[in-house]
Structure 1
Amino acid sequence: MIAATKFFSVDDLKVQIYNSEAEMAQDVAEIARKYLQDVLELQDTAAVLLATGNSQLKFLDALIALGGVDWSRIILFHLDEYLGITADHAASFRRYMRERVEKRVFPQQFHYIEGDALQPVAECDRYTKLLQAQPIDLCCLGVGENGHLAFNDPAVADFQDPYSVKLVKLDAVNRQQQVNTGHFPNLNSVPQYAFTVTLPLICSAKKILCLAPEKRKAQVVKEMLEGSISTESPASILRKQSQATLFLDINSASLLSLKC
């Protein structure tokens, strides 16, 4: 069993730091597996909300490789999708999830946001009803370079959002991140709008595991943990969630002054 090298809390948020991203991913996978096993001992199914992005790759691979989860009793959702993008587009989050998760574990159901729906507002309503049909047992998150959770960028983040799913305009930092991480060839090719699950829905999950490795996340992690709890850093809302844990590697934690 791999263990974190440092443990501390910031407000209600638990934080764990690891020597490497690989060690972090392996330990989070073991935590997620044990939690899902415990949930399925108490109820027939578990609802899980998954994130995409490079921060999730090692974790998802490790979780699937561990085995021991009865995926036939798991109902899966995802956090966001670009507006107007087809399911087979190289950057589609539906494609990411189908290739990296659904085709490997065969869950009971994977509910997808249809990014190319003919009526986007109706699609928000449809997905909202699916999410609200049962409590979310586990939410797995990443943190964007502008502090976003899902596509809740600072300009559109709302800690009291009345919606569970909404359409938002992506900011320039977010869109450039998609280019920098290889999802699109240039800024003009990144869609300007996207569907996102909102912050209150994310925070309603019974357990939240947030992974934020790599040096490029160091500044936003510092702002998230050492700045004020504000929509200027949407991820800072996790500091009010006692059911949440933030997992860092030594690179993403490198700028923190509050490590203990």
Structure 2
Amino acid sequence: METYQFKKDTLSVWVCPSSKTLAQTAAESVEEYLHPIFSKQQTATLVLATGNSQLEFLAHLVAREQIDWSRIILFHLDEYLGISADSPASFRYYLQENLIKHISPKHFYGIEAEALEPLAECERYSQLLKQHPIDLCFLGIGSNGHLAFNEPGVANFKDPYPVKLVKLAEKTRLTQVEQGHFSHLDTVPQYAYTLTLSTILTANKIICLASGTTKAPIVKQMLTDTITPACPASGLRFHPNTTLFLDGEAAIQLEGNLA
């Protein structure tokens, strides 16, 4: 199988033969995208995703020596309410271990999940994002179609809030246990901070990754069914500059006339 691409509405879809090829191709596209950005402005703002889909991708980003991290300001998509930054299950810990300690970014703004006033933390992070418009946002897709922690029950393409607190679906929490991030369901926080869909969709460019057969059903749904907040990932089909990178396993349920 060779890499191929197609369009669905305004969404560009690349299907790669393996997760390794997917990660490498996506990292190359980031480097190519940043070159003209740096020719026009001093810094670039990136929003980082976490999860298993991002691991190889982040490793390839670290290896790309032409990316000038000293000119890049980093944010992240989401974080569990109340979790400490040094907890192995924290997304800040994940990003520190898999990216930040290997590079020298201009700044990393983390969601302070331990804040005593969570709503004030939402406002603080919202104001920071307003000061730094998003040039590039990385995403993964949840098995129920959630982007960041915008679950089907709370997702809103025109959300009035830039950042909000949401209750996590049990399916999402179970996934965290299955992936080994928590020992059992009772230890997974029930609430989390998330950038909203309206904030994510303001990004000038979005790169979304999905790999493995477990993502095949939701990939088919997001690309073939109606665009609706009931499948938050389907909203990427009306973003003007999004690329969805799939491996062959994630694309296996796509019909020939689509893929």
What TM bracket, shorter-length normalisation?
Answer: over 0.9
8 Å CA contact 1:71–1:107 kept in 2: the answer is: yes
CA deviations on 1:185-216 (whole Å, 9 max, x unpaired) are 11111000000000011010001000011111
1:189 alignment counterpart: 187
Distance 1:66 1:203 in 2: 26
Q: Deviation of residue 231 (structure 1)? A: 1.1
1:119 alignment counterpart: 117
> Does residue 26 of structure 2 align to residue 28 of structure 1?
yes
> Does residue 93 of structure 2 align to residue 99 of structure 1?
no
CA deviations on 1:104-145 (whole Å, 9 max, x unpaired) are 111000000011111100000000001110220000110001
Describe how 1:31-180 pairs up with structure 2 within 5 A. 31-180=29-178
- Paired amino acid for 1:213: S
Distance 2:162 2:65 in 1: 32
Distance 2:197 2:44 in 1: 20
- Paired amino acid for 1:259: L
Distance 1:4 1:87 in 2: 40
Give RMSD over aligned pairs: 1.1
Matched-pair identity in %:
52
Distance 1:133 1:127 in 2: 10
Distance 1:85 1:134 in 2: 25
Tell me the number of residue pairs that the alignment of Structure 1 and Structure 2 aligns: 258
TM-score between the two structures when normalised by the length of structure 1 = 0.97
Describe how 1:192-203 pairs up with structure 2 within 5 A. 192-203=190-201
Distance 2:221 2:186 in 1: 29
Q: Per the alignment, in what secondary structure is the counterpart of residue 225 of structure 1?
A: helix
Distance 1:148 1:121 in 2: 22
CA deviations on 1:48-86 (whole Å, 9 max, x unpaired) are 001000000000100111211111110000000000101
Q: Deviation of residue 161 (structure 1)? A: 0.2
- Paired amino acid for 1:116: E
2:13 alignment counterpart: 15
Q: Per the alignment, in what secondary structure is the counterpart of residue 254 of structure 1?
A: coil
> Does residue 242 of structure 2 align to residue 244 of structure 1?
yes
1:259 alignment counterpart: 258
Q: Deviation of residue 37 (structure 1)? A: 2.2
- Paired amino acid for 1:143: I
TM-score between the two structures when normalised by the length of structure 2 = 0.97
Q: Deviation of residue 38 (structure 1)? A: 2.0
Distance 1:229 1:255 in 2: 18
Distance 2:211 2:135 in 1: 23
Distance 2:90 2:66 in 1: 29
Distance 1:174 1:4 in 2: 32
Change (3 A) 1:216 1:107: same
Change (3 A) 1:239 1:58: same
8 Å CA contact 1:124–1:165 kept in 2: the answer is: yes
| Aligned with 1:214 (options 212, 215, 220) | 212
Deviation >6 Å, runs of 4+: none
Q: Per the alignment, in what secondary structure is the counterpart of residue 174 of structure 2?
A: helix
Q: Per the alignment, in what secondary structure is the counterpart of residue 76 of structure 1?
A: strand
